[in-house]
């Protein structure tokens, strides 16, 4: 099938539109790989066994102390519909000396060709008919879509707040990432918002945005979502996949990231959680 891609800029973001085959009925969404090649390979193998018409990648692809360059090569060869996350933006816009540890490690590993691949990715992507991809929300790669944060901690966002964050996006399905938390919400108007969770990192701590908090799935399994379109609309299955997380954790330890190692092994942050953003 010949694909035509249209591009436009929205509030400093690049949005692209790409038609997909109307026969696409099974869609796999992956996000927040963070250079965890072993987790990515396990997820791709599981998707292959279950069967899928299309895989989409929602960003935060490489940053972390694991295998950023190898992960980039794997994904570049696959050619999946892919968008940038906040970490891709940081890799492209920040000077190395101003980067956090995860971005700085990835940047030191990446080739010019791999950086050019990141540079070409849009921040948002519409797959016609009816599927919209963003990393955080349509208006920000840092905003949480399906969660709220306050001084007491994290909670599932109220549906009216999610509706406001969706805005005027005219799509049956809105796919998002960023929080690493597998979650779905169907709005009153029928639009479905899905976060597949993280392929590569099941817990992190953040010291602001807007309050210190941790995000934890509670298990080390790699996560993705499988969506199927039927006569009554889309259904969602959130999938947890086993892989060799002990080996990934050992690699993180060797590279001086014990908080990453703990998150990879347990799906939880150390207690007390380190204040540095583990992602």
What is the tens place of the pLDDT at every residue in 130-182?
Answer: 999 999 999 999 999 999 998 888 999 999 999 999 999 999 999 999 999 99
Is residue 2, in this structure, part of any structural domain at all?
A: no
Note whether residue 279 is domain-resident.
no
10 Å CB burial of residue 14 (0-12, 13-18, 19+) is: middle
Answer whether residue 245 is part of any domain. yes
DSSP state for residue 129 in the 8-state scheme: T
Asked whether residue 112 is domain-assigned, the answer is: yes
Burial (CB < 10 A; 0-12, 13-18, 19+), residue 240, is middle
Report, as an integer, the average pLDDT of 50-70. 97
For the residues 107-113, what does the mean pLDDT come to? Answer: 98
Q: Is residue 197 part of a domain?
A: yes
**227-244 average pLDDT score:** 96
Sign of the CA dihedral running 267, 270, 275, 279: negative
Per residue in 4-27, pLDDT (tens digit) is 334 333 445 577 877 766 667 899
Residue range 243-266: mean pLDDT, rounded: 98
Peptide bond into 129 cis (omega under 30): yes
Q: What is the pLDDT of residue 225?
A: 98
Strands (E), 88-196: 124-128, 131-133, 147-150, 153-156, 173-175, 183-186, 192-195
How far is it, in rounded angstroms, from Cα 208 to Cα 173?
Answer: 29
* CATH assignment at residue 198: 3.60.21.10
Q: What is the mean pLDDT of residues 122-130?
A: 92
User: Is residue 272 assigned to a domain?
Assistant: no
The reply to whether 246 falls in a domain is yes
Residue of 164, 210, 211 whose CA lies nearest to 191: 164
Instruction: Read off the pLDDT band of 77 (50, 70, 90).
Output: very high
* Tally of domains within the chain: 1
Provide the pairing of β-strand 192-195 with 213-216: unpaired
What is the predicted pLDDT for the residue at 100?
96
- pLDDT reported for residue 279: 56
Q: Is 158 left (phi over 0), alpha (psi -120 to 50) or beta?
A: beta
- The whole domain housing 248 covers 15-266
The pTM of this model reads 0.91
pLDDT given for residue 268 in this prediction? 97
- Say if CB 4 and CB 118 are below 8 A apart: no
């Amino acid at each position: 099938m010949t694909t035509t891609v249209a591009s436009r800029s929205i509030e400093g973001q690049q949005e692209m539109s790409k038609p997909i085959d109307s026969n696409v009925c099974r869609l796999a969404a992956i996000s927040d790989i963070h250079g965890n090649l072993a987790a990515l390979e396990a997820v791709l193998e599981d998707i292959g066994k279950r069967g899928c018409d299309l895989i989409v990648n929602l960003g935060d692809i490489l940053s972390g102390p694991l295998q950023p360059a190898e992960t980039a090569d794997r994904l570049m060869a696959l050619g999946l519909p892919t968008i940038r996350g906040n970490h891709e933006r940081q890799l492209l816009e920040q000077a190395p000396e101003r980067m956090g540890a995860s971005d700085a490690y990835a940047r030191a590993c990446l080739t010019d060709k791999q950086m050019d691949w990141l540079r070409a990715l849009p921040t948002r992507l519409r797959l016609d008919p009816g599927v919209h991809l963003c990393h955080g929300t349509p208006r920000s790669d840092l905003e949480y879509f399906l969660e709220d944060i306050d001084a007491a901690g994290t909670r599932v966002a109220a549906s009216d707040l999610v509706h406001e964050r969706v805005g005027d996006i005219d799509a049956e399905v809105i796919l998002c990432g960023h929080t690493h938390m597998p979650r779905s919400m169907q709005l009153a108007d029928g639009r479905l918002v899905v976060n597949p969770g993280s392929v590569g990192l099941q817990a992190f701590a953040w010291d602001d945005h807007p309050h210190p908090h941790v995000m934890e799935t509670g298990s080390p399994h790699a996560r993705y979502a499988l969506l199927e379109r039927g006569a009554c609309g889309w259904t969602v299955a959130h999938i947890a996949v086993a892989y060799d997380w002990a080996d990934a954790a050992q690699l993180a330890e060797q590279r001086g990231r014990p908080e990453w190692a703990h998150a990879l092994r347990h799906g939880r942050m150390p207690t007390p959680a380190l204040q540095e953003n583990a992602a």
